[in-house]
Amino acid sequence: MEEDVSLLEFRNEEFLVHYHKRSNAETTFHIIKSKFGDSVRSKTEAAQVNEVLLKVLCHNICVVIQKMFELGIEPEFISA
């Protein structure tokens, strides 16, 4: 008799690529909720969407600033 091989075992590398994408997304959502709160205070749907998008934007800015310090990158601002 042939041994049954699960799809996970057969295509393990492909599974792991997608699993890490999901893991990274869940980790990011956890960080955003921890840093900026896990509730949305806005009443209307449009305001709720904007509030969540602003939390994501703030998270991205924090990540850029953190990486600038870690990598020793000096910001260059364009003067008017």
pLDDT digits (tens, 9 = 90+) for 5-15: 676 777 888 88
Q: What is the pLDDT of residue 45?
A: 98
pTM of this prediction exceeds 0.85? no
Of 69, 50, 47, 48, give the one whose Cα is nearest residue 58: 50
Q: Where are the domains of the chain?
A: 9-71
Q: Which helix (H) or strand (E) holds 27?
A: helix 12-36
| pLDDT tens per residue across span 7-46 | 677 788 888 778 888 889 999 999 999 999 999 999 999 9
